[in-house]
Amino acid sequence: MFENLGRFIVRHRKGVLTVFMLGTLIAGGIGSLAFGKLESGGYSDKDSESATATNYIINRFKVQEPIITLVVDSSIGIDNPDVSVKGLALEKEIQSVKGVSKTFSFWSTGGADSMRSKDGKAGFILVYANLNSDDWNGFQSLGATIQARFDGDYKGLQVYAGGGAVITHAINSRIEKDLLLAESIAIPFTFLLLIFVFGALVASAMPLFVGVTAILGSFFLIYLFTHFTSISVFALNLITGLGLGLGIDYALLIVNRFREELHHGKTVEESVITTVATAGKTVFYSGLTVFVTMASLLLFPLNFLKSFGYAGISVISLAVVGAIFALPALLAILGHKVDKGVVRRGAITPKEDGRWAHTARAVMRRPLPVVIACLAILGIMALPVANIAFAQIDARVLPATDRAAISSQIIESRFDGLLGSPIEVVVPKGVGREAEITKFLNQVATIKGIVRIGPFEKFGNDIRVQVISSKASRTTASELIIHTIRAIDRPAGTLIGGAAADFTDSQDGIASKLPFALGWIAITVLILIFIFTGSIILPIKAVVLNVLSLLATLGAISWIFIDGHLKWLVGDFTVTGTLDTGSVILVAVVVFGLSMDYELFLLSRIREEHLTGKSNVESVAVGLQRSARIITAAALLLAVVFATFITSGVTSIKMLGFGVALAVLLDATLVRALLVPALMRLFGERNWWAPKWMQRFTLKH
């Protein structure tokens, strides 16, 4: 099939390239419309108890939670008459802002204790808006407006703008700026490295050709997805990183094989056909393994994670299409001109024997000590995983100097409870059952972290009560409180909602789907690698090694971002003692998929050499020589792309960049260059064994 595809591309090279480029330009133009449709939410499980409670409160009680919380601080105390006048004047100005529906403050409520700080020097102004629950653009826009106009000094008072709308705007605006900075560093630096790796200017542009076209095409697919579901703005980071990374991976493999065939004396046309039939096939199956791995994100209930699934399968699909259709067509047109603009002649001609083959033979002479040493290193790196704890994104992912982060810290430290994000207790048809509800709430009041129980609010036969906690909503402490509340016997039909319950349901939703996602990844990857290699042993070994590599990566992430080490390397961040659940899952899925990418790069070449009649040892040595340079170069370049994310001021993006960069480097060196050849030597010819009845399901090379 792939050989026939190669022949088709050679015959219609100009047509294939023209159609691809026109399609990409059109897709990029239409795809740019997606930017205005991307959202910053998606952290909630819409089928959860908390979501039901929220909908009930909005639809039945006709109330909404404040989207902005301002802290007004005065050194002389907020009861001072002059401060009261200024506070009321500030509140009146806020009410005049377009989009604000109403406000409540310490002063307009007559000095409510719940809106006063513990030291009596600061008070709240709560801001409400009439927005649809899914209007994230309006949500952010109002947060940005309020912060820009009122955060800072106001007639001698210090105003700190916080709350969901302000924090969301602060995080997203910082990510947008950080992404531009990362791209401005990654693209030129990557191009310089590509020139060094390829040794010629023309060849070094091939990965960027595949990567950039994949990114532009992905924007179009994401635009289509926005018509059917909500897509997170964070998906742009993944599209950019994976687009450039996979463009580098696949172009390296294709161009290197094309050069190799030319070096063996084949014509340009023959070289393209052989390249598509060999490297093209590897790219297709490698892409397929990454595709099914990223598709596992679609199983989770949170649109935040689903968005990365849609982004991942989009950019992977288009990177594969670009690598096995457009790139061979371009190479067929360029021919020997692919080596034009020579910079490093030694990189142009592939070596039949070299340091990678020597490394493989050295490893295979003493395989057992190498395996033991490598496993020990991975095991030591994985140890901090024992301390891993999960939470979700809040203001603490911002730099501690960010005004939104400062506001959140003041609210948590200087006020008795988080008034702006209460725990909601909703009892449909609760009127007439007040004694039963009171008994339940009395038990809730004894839970550590609960500071106040609000009064009954009635609407028809329904009752709503707000419970104020001292714990930040998206933390393990608030999760424990929600689980404790729900464990208490409660009146029939009672719903527990609010921000803390929403966080808890999101975490529980992820945990409930995680086994299915892991099972999907394991089964599909095992099947695909078996089909590709015809071996029972190799798929199992690949999955086990990838899990070990992933655990080592998560251990390093925990050691840095939970324990607070190596800030000099990754930049300053607020140590919270937890990791963002969604970001950890994303790192794990991306790392696992890319590791399988490199595994198939290596196994395909070893398998090809073994089928020519070479021994197991010689197949591994030659296969490593001809693929390890590609894998190492690809890993280095991909690490550079993701390492630029470390410059981000948002901790979760910083963690994503560090985690993927470390993982691909670890995988390309310790795992692929040492562990794989050592284990291949230990298993010997058993590497290629499979029952005869299963062999008919394998791919013919």
Average pLDDT over residues 129-139: 72
Structural tokens at position 321: 């299409």
Helix (H) or strand (E) holding 67: none
Mean pLDDT of the residues in the chain = 87
Exposure string for 184-204, b = 16+ CB within 10 A, e = fewer: ebbbeebeebbbebbbbebbb
**pLDDT higher than threshold 80 for residue 335:** yes
> 449's torsion region: left (phi>0), alpha (psi -120 to 50) or beta?
left
CA–CA–CA angle 121, 122, 123 (5° rounding): 135
**pLDDT greater than 60 at residue 349:** no
Contact status, residue 259 vs residue 339, Cβ threshold 8 Å: yes
Q: 532 lies in a domain?
A: no
Average pLDDT over residues 38-53: 82
Q: Which residue has the tokens 């899914």?
A: 134
Most confident of the following: 365-379, 402-416, 680-694 = 365-379
**Mean pLDDT, residues 619-636 taken together:** 78
What is the per-residue pLDDT for 271? Answer: 92
Distance CA 573, CA 396 (A): 8
Largest CA distance in the chain: 93
Q: Is 458 part of any domain?
A: yes
Who's near 277: CB < 8 A, 6+ residues apart? 2, 3, 6
- Give the whole-angstrom CA distance, residue 409 versus residue 542: 45
SS3 category, 495:
strand
**pLDDT tens-digit map of 142-188:** 999 999 999 999 999 999 999 888 988 888 888 878 878 887 888 78
What's the pLDDT at 133? 60
- Indicate the pLDDT class of residue 312, thresholds 50, 70 and 90: very high
Q: Tell me the Ramachandran region of residue 342: left when phi exceeds 0, alpha when psi lies from -120 to 50, beta otherwise.
A: beta
Higher pLDDT, 388 or 339: 388
Tokens representing 304? 């935040």
What φ, ψ does residue 498 adopt, rounded to 5°? 100, 175
In-domain check, residue 588: no
The two structure tokens encoding residue 378: 């991975």
DSSP 73: E
Residue 465 resides in a domain: yes
48-62, 425-439, 452-466, 629-643: which has the minimum mean pLDDT? 629-643
**pLDDT over threshold 70, residue 417:** no
Q: Is residue 139 predicted with pLDDT exceeding 90? A: no
Asked if the model's pLDDT at residue 352 lies above 60, the reply is no
For a pLDDT cut of 90, what percent of the chain falls above it?
Answer: 40
Helix (H) or strand (E) holding 652: helix 651-666
Residue 700 placed within a domain: no
At 76, is the pLDDT very low, low, confident or very high (cuts 50, 70, 90)? very high
Confirm if 221 and 243 have CB atoms less than 8 A apart.
no
Sort strands 390-391 and 579-580 into parallel, antiparallel or unpaired. parallel
Per-residue pLDDT band for 356 (boundaries 50, 70, 90) equals low
Least confident of 260-274, 354-368, 673-687: 354-368
- Taking a C-beta distance cutoff of 8 angstroms, is the pair 603, 595 a contact? no
**pLDDT value at position 389?**
86
- Pick the last residue of a domain from 505, 536, 568: 505
pLDDT by residue (tens digit) across 531-589? 888 888 889 998 999 899 999 999 999 999 999 999 988 988 988 888 988 889 988 99
Virtual CA dihedral for 88, 93, 98, 100, nearest 10 degrees? -10
Give yes or no for residue 669 having a pLDDT over 70.
Answer: yes
Amino acid 347 reads: A
Whether pLDDT at 429 is above 80: yes
| 624 within a domain of the structure (yes/no) | no
- CATH code for the domain in which residue 138 is found: 3.30.70.1320
Output the domain CATH number for residue 493. Answer: 3.30.70
The pLDDT value given to residue 41: 66
Averaged pLDDT, 3-19:
91
Distance between CA atoms of residues 458 and 279, nearest Å: 69
* Domain end among 162, 185, 206: 162
Give me the residues paired with residue 452 across strands: 468
Structural domain contains residue 422: yes
Residue 691 lies in a domain: no
Structural domain boundaries enclosing 405: 399-505
Give the total number of structural domains in the chain.
Answer: 2
Higher pLDDT, 36 or 652: 652
Residue 252 has pLDDT above 60, yes or no: yes
* Spatial distance between the Cα atoms of 245 and 594, rounded to a whole number of angstroms: 9
What is the C-alpha separation between 22 and 423, in angstroms, rounded? Answer: 54
- Domain C-terminal end among 162, 191, 207: 162
pLDDT greater than 70 at residue 422: yes
Statement: residue 346 has pLDDT above 60: no
Concatenated DSSP letters of 363-409:
HHHSHHHHHHHHHHHHHHHHGGGGG--EE---GGGS-TTSHHHHHHH
pLDDT score, position 421: 77
